[in-house]
Amino acid sequence: MKLPKFKMGWPQRLAALLLLIFLGECLWVISRQQLSTEDYRFARCGREMWEKPSPLGGYFTSCGNLNGDGTFGYRAAGLPLTLQRLVLLATDKLRSPEDRLYSSGSLNGSTWEARHELSSVKYLLHLPFVFFAIWLGAGLWWVARRLYGNEGGFFALSLYIFCPEIVRYAVTPNNDVLAMWGLYGMVYTAIGVAHAMQGPRRKWRPRIALLTVALGFTAAAHLLASMVGFVAAAVFMMYLAERRRSYVMQTLIYSGVGALVILFAFYTFRLPAFSYVFTGGGARFWFSLDATRAFFTEPANAAIAVAFAVAIFLYIGVRRCRYFGNIVPLLMLIVLFPLMTTQTLSRPWFWALPFLFTFTGGVFADILETRFRKLFLALTGLILITQAASCIAVLNSIARQS
C-alpha cells in the first residue's frame, strides 16, 4: 500500500511556523525554570519504571503504586534520562579499561546515584511534554482545516499556541497534557473509523489500530479521560456508521481489549501494580464549574473568552453554524467543563481546551463565508493580536510558577 504524498504547501509551512513559535515560547520558559521537587519525583519514578520497576517490596516504584495517577507521564519524563544513561554507559565501554570513567562508578549503581552523571536534565525532563503539546497542535490544525478550511484551522491553532494554560502545562511534567492529547485524538480517530466503515474493509484496520493505540495511551495517562473518550467514540460512531452499526460494538470491544494490553504493558506486565488501575479510584469524579470559571475569568485568557462567547452567540443565532462538525467539539465541552476528579489532582477542564479552539475556529470560519466577512476578519485579527500579547506578557510568570 502506497503512502499518500505529503505536500508542503503554504498552509503546511504557515502551520509549521506557528508551531515553531509555540516551541520558542516553551523553550524560553524552560530556560528560566528551576527544577522543582515535583520534577525530581517524575524523573526518579519514571526512570525506575524503565530501569528498575520494583525497588521496594510490594510497590511498583518508590512513589508507591501510583493509585489513580497515570504511568504515561512518568515514563515520558524518565525515558530521555534513561536513554542518556544508556548512551553514557555504551560510549564508556568503547574506551580501554584503564580509561573508563564508570568501570565501578555510579552509572552502574542505583538509579538515584546515577542522577549526578546526567546533563541537561531540565530540558530532557520537560521536552517530551512540549513534544506532545506540539503533536496535539498539529493534530488540531489538521482536524480544523479538514472541517472548516484554512481560516478555521489557523484561527484554532493560533488560539492554541497563544493560550497561557497550554504553555504552562506543556513545560512541566504531568499527565494532563498527555490525557488531553489522547482524548482529542480518540474522538476524531473514532469519527474517522466510522467514516471508513462506509468504504472497503481494507481501510478499516489501520484506523481501528490507531483508535486502539489512542485508547491505550489515554488510559495510561488518565483513566477518566479514556472512559470519557470511549463513551464519546461509541456515541459518535453509532451516529455516523448508519448501515454498519453492527460493526461498531465489535470494533470498540477489540479496541478496548487492545487498550488493556497496552495499559498492562505500561506496568511492565506486573499484575499486582496493574490491579490498582481498577481499585485506585482514578476515575472517580463529581461536578464543579469552579476551575472552568477561573479559566475564563483569568485576564490572560480574556481574548479566548471573548472569542468563545461570540462563537456561542453565533452558534445559537446562525443556522449555518449548527452542523455535526461544530456539534462534536461543543458536546465535548459540555461534558468536560463540569467534571472534576475527586481521588487525584487532575484537570478535565484542561482536556477540553482543544475542543474549545476547534469549536471557536469552526464557527468563525462559517461566519467568514457570509456577507459579514470583513467585520469578522477584523474581529479575528484583534482577538489573535490581543491573545498573543497577553500570552507573551505572562510567559515570565509561567516560568516562575512552573
pLDDT grade for 86, boundaries at 50, 70 and 90: confident
Is the pLDDT score of 186 beyond 90? yes
DSSP string, 137-163: HHHHHHHHHHHHHHHHHHHHHHHHHT-
In the prediction, which pLDDT does 278 show? 81
The grid coordinates of residue 175 equal: 499527565
Lowest mean pLDDT among 73-77, 126-130, 242-246: 242-246
In the prediction, which pLDDT does 112 show? 45
For cell 484537570, the residue is 347
Whether residue 265 contacts residue 368, with contact meaning beta carbons closer than 8 Å, is answered with no
CA distance 332 to 335: 5
Instruction: Choose among 185, 259, 171, 181: nearest CA to 215.
Output: 259
Instruction: Choose among 171, 169, 160, 162: nearest CA to 136.
Output: 160
In the prediction, which pLDDT does 64 show? 62
Is the pLDDT score of 2 beyond 60? no
Is the pLDDT score of 245 beyond 50? yes
In the prediction, which pLDDT does 154 show? 97
Higher local confidence (pLDDT), 52 or 188? 188
**Which ranges of 300-345 would DSSP assign to H, the alpha helix?**
302-317, 324-336
CA distance 196 to 214: 17
Lowest mean pLDDT among 240-254, 356-370, 373-387: 240-254
**Which ranges of 201-323 would DSSP assign to H, the alpha helix?**
204-221, 223-241, 248-266, 271-274, 276-279, 290-297, 302-317
Q: What is the average per-residue pLDDT within 2-14?
A: 75
CA distance 137 to 132: 9
Whether residue 73 contacts residue 221, with contact meaning beta carbons closer than 8 Å, is answered with yes
In the prediction, which pLDDT does 91 show? 78
Domain boundaries defined on the chain: 16-34+123-401, 37-122
pLDDT grade for 99, boundaries at 50, 70 and 90: low
CA distance 233 to 331: 12
Lowest mean pLDDT among 6-10, 91-95, 324-328, 385-389: 91-95
The grid coordinates of residue 68 equal: 489513580
Lowest mean pLDDT among 39-43, 142-146, 149-153, 298-302: 39-43
Lowest mean pLDDT among 217-221, 279-283, 356-360: 279-283
Q: What is the average per-residue pLDDT within 369-389?
A: 94
Whether residue 380 contacts residue 303, with contact meaning beta carbons closer than 8 Å, is answered with no
Is the pLDDT score of 146 beyond 90? yes
Q: What is the average per-residue pLDDT within 345-369?
A: 96
In the prediction, which pLDDT does 116 show? 52
Lowest mean pLDDT among 3-17, 289-303, 384-398: 3-17
Both ends of the chain: CA-CA distance in Å?
46
Strand partners, 64: 61
Mean pLDDT for the chain? 88
In the prediction, which pLDDT does 1 show? 47
Q: What is the average per-residue pLDDT within 364-392?
A: 94
In the prediction, which pLDDT does 57 show? 54
CA distance 106 to 101: 10
Is the pLDDT score of 58 beyond 70? no
Is the pLDDT score of 227 beyond 70? yes
In the prediction, which pLDDT does 343 show? 82
Is the pLDDT score of 80 beyond 80? yes
Q: What is the average per-residue pLDDT within 122-150?
A: 96
Whether residue 263 contacts residue 277, with contact meaning beta carbons closer than 8 Å, is answered with yes
pLDDT grade for 141, boundaries at 50, 70 and 90: very high
Q: What is the average per-residue pLDDT within 123-136?
A: 96
pLDDT grade for 9, boundaries at 50, 70 and 90: confident
Q: Residue 341 phi/psi, 5° resolution?
A: -85, 145
pLDDT grade for 113, boundaries at 50, 70 and 90: very low
The grid coordinates of residue 93 equal: 565501554
Q: What is the average per-residue pLDDT within 245-266?
A: 93
